[in-house]
């Protein structure tokens, strides 16, 4: 599992970076449609900040 935080702080978790990019893009369209970030920026954001999600992530408690 891979995890990335949206620039708004929302945590997105998915199977791999490709799925993460799709989910972050979908979240961004829904949560902040006025945001100007494009697909390339989303991919860069994931490349720079995505992490492997542990089995028992800190946010699960
Ligand atoms: Zn967001």
pLDDT at 36 over 80: yes
- What is the pTM assigned to this prediction? 0.82
pLDDT at 61 over 70: no
- Kindly give the distance from the C-alpha atom of residue 32 to the centroid of ligand 1, in angstroms, as a whole number: 6
- Kindly give the distance from the C-alpha atom of residue 7 to the centroid of ligand 1, in angstroms, as a whole number: 6
For residue 44, the surrounding DSSP H or E stretch is helix 39-49
Give me the mean pLDDT over the 20-41 stretch: 93
- Kindly give the distance from the C-alpha atom of residue 41 to the centroid of ligand 1, in angstroms, as a whole number: 13
Give the span between the Cα atoms of 31 and 54, in whole angstroms. 26
- Kindly give the distance from the C-alpha atom of residue 13 to the centroid of ligand 1, in angstroms, as a whole number: 13
Strands 51-52, 11-14: pairing kind: unpaired
pLDDT at 14: 94
pLDDT at 49: 97
Q: Give bridge partners of residue 3 from the DSSP assignment.
A: 13, 51
């Amino acid at each position: 599992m891979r995890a990335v935080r949206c620039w708004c702080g929302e945590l997105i978790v998915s199977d791999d970076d490709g799925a993460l990019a799709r989910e972050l893009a979908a979240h961004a369209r829904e949560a902040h449609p006025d945001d100007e970030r494009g697909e390339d920026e989303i991919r860069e954001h994931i490349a720079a900040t995505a992490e492997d999600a542990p089995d028992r992530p800190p946010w699960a408690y």
